[in-house]
Structure 1
């Protein structure tokens, strides 16, 4: 497993009114892809049971691991992840595709992931990431970055 340390789903105090933080997806290493990436994230308002990521105590930082579901598309996360030994205790990277966001996140959570980084299928991020039927069963942070940002990160995982 190649190591990408992702300060993903991490917060940096933004100095906004009322002391709210800003949700930041930041790759810390390797240096070749170290950057802060634009994102959208799951909230309780959109049928999720995820932690409030505007609270700094809910931030996570860990290694990013590609989630594999064993299907032809392989990293959509629409089926149970087959690499749970690698995923457990880390942040799962899964691609947007044919099934609801909540299903993808629940499959990652069931594999032991502490967070989910979804890669969009375009450069427009979903305004409201709806949890679908499984979203209320997900209690780990879920964020999404653009397809072009994912294309920067993915080669380092391969």
Structure 2
């Protein structure tokens, strides 16, 4: 019985301790081009976070619940980002990366990703044709005041 419990504990610890990877700006940009569902964890100090907040980032808290398969960690320095990324609980299929270069690298890569138009994007035919509107908005009559 003890062997079974110890074996289960070791298996759990080995699954939960998967190593996070440090990625640079170019790899980050290609990830952002490929993935739209990710969580950006802002693990910077409170002073830095309040001075220069990152759009759509979640504030890092130890043991926080994450629902995404891709987690990106930004911290005050690369060593802290990697340490925090390695502390994020691992779920089946979850990929965790620490962003090298911090918030500045994140902002540059995300701007490049958003500015680059997709070459294969087409507006589907039949989606912008005029027709009968589903609802027409009409002005409400002005309220009548009671005369005294």
- Larger Rg over CA atoms: 2
What is the TM-score when the length of structure 1 is the normalising length? 0.32
User: When you count helix as a share of all residues, which structure comes out higher?
Assistant: 2
User: When you count strand as a share of all residues, which structure comes out higher?
Assistant: 1
What is the TM-score when the length of structure 2 is the normalising length? 0.34
